[in-house]
Structure 1
């Protein structure tokens, strides 16, 4: 005998299903720094990327099921290429791409039995920090305009709280990377992330043409070491040196 499920209950079940799938994935952090936008993913794989370039000034980060967000990434690349070719490269924007993704995710969520288990960030670097754009998209097509930092996947609440505690506007790349790594480690106090288990990329506003750049494990180690050295130097400067003893006068 067929049974009835209300639309409200059906949507709630889909949302719960998608959230559980996303929370099982490893986290991704996106945050602004002085020269652009930094992307850091807890991802030891060198074959399956969570962070990718979409167009000249636009990048994409995702958590959830790889095959699902890879389909979305490829669709975004095609959208950007076609619009840039037909009109002008400046007409391809993160806002336009976010709207396309929102429509696709919203349609999938409402019209199919299984929603996509994905969460996305589409970011575009501007001429300065005030013109940077970061959009967060959830499995149901909702879009949020973010500023400063974003955390997705895994224990996102714990990561976001750590970012809130450590994030500073205008931080250097090394400082922003350290904050991001500490935030990812906040999910497990006993875990320490090494460079080889991180996927890191930047949109660097100081570059020309293609502003997206991946960081190698060696470069990640250098940046983390640079920040550690700076912290040690600051700690040393805060200490009051012992005054030299005055020689006894005859």
Structure 2
């Protein structure tokens, strides 16, 4: 009779974490930044159909990297949770903190279960407040832990390098154009320190804009509006002038 192969619980969990991290690292990065009027999400994503950034509720948005089918299931679950809670109680009772707790429980349960593989995803849940000091950004790694972020955060791909770049350059009170330029510059840097050129067609951009008169603060920045913003930031960089404060555009609301 052969002796059963034994793996310590600590080693098993370490192997599961390494498996999840490798899957997440293969995905293109997502960057989330606070700016003066809200929160901007910028993802390297050439697909027009498979979104990495989506609306969850009035003031709440979701971004993810990793396996699309896994984080899409989580997004749908988040929308259902938000709709049910808002309908049962009050729309103001739906918060990013509550949603992050729900996601943390789900990810933590899956990660610790020996019966299934861990999810290869990393999430960001953000809520725009009445003022910049009221904004909330939470990062949720594969194991279900919750990290309260401020100012800027990056997940996927070269997240550590991008986060370091953002941490040195992000500041309070940035305009949308300034924040967008910083986000694109950070995504364009490769692991060797070189720079690539990212066009509007390669980017997925959305904002939670606190100045919108509607309850729903989520808006996608698409097509000509995105191209115009990128052109303005490029021209401002060449001239050394300050970027334009805000560009008006269509609603571009998410279908989620």
Q: Is the CA contact 2:184–2:198 (under 8 Å) kept in the aligned structure 1?
A: yes
Scaled by the length of structure 2, the TM-score of the pair is 0.89
Question: For residue 197 of structure 1, what is the aligned residue in structure 2?
Answer: 202
Partner of 2:36: 34
The Cα offsets for residues 51-77 of structure 1, whole Å up to 9 and x where unpaired, read as 000000000000000000000000000
1:144 aligns with 2:154: no
Residue correspondence of structure 1 range 50-69 to structure 2 within 5 A = 50-69=52-71
2:102 to 93, 100, 103: 100
Question: Deviation per CA, 1:99-154, whole angstroms, max 9, x where unpaired?
Answer: 00000000000014310000000000000000000000010000010000000000
Aligned equivalent of 2:220, options 201, 210, 214? 214
- Corresponding residue to 1:178 among 156, 176, 181: 181
Cα separation, partners in 2 of 1:235 and 1:73, compared to 1, 3 Å? closer
Paired residues in the alignment total 236
Specify every segment of 5 or more residues in structure 2 that has no aligned partner in the other structure, as ranges: 243-256
Q: CA RMSD in A?
A: 1.3
Distance in 1 between residues matched to 2:238 and 2:69, nearest whole Å? 43
The superposition leaves residues 179-219 of structure 1 with CA deviations (integer Å, 9 ceiling, x where unpaired) of: 00000011262421100100000000001211000011321
> Partner of 1:224 in structure 2?
230
Question: Is the partner of 1:25 in helix, strand or coil?
Answer: coil
Please list every run of 5 or more consecutive structure 1 residues that lacks an aligned counterpart in the other structure: 237-250
For the 8 Å contact 2:189–2:195, the answer to whether it is kept is no
Q: For 1:13-162, what aligned pairs fall within 5 Å after superposition?
A: 13-111=15-113, 112-162=115-165
Structure 2 counterpart SS, 1:187: coil
Q: Secondary structure at the match of 1:30?
A: strand
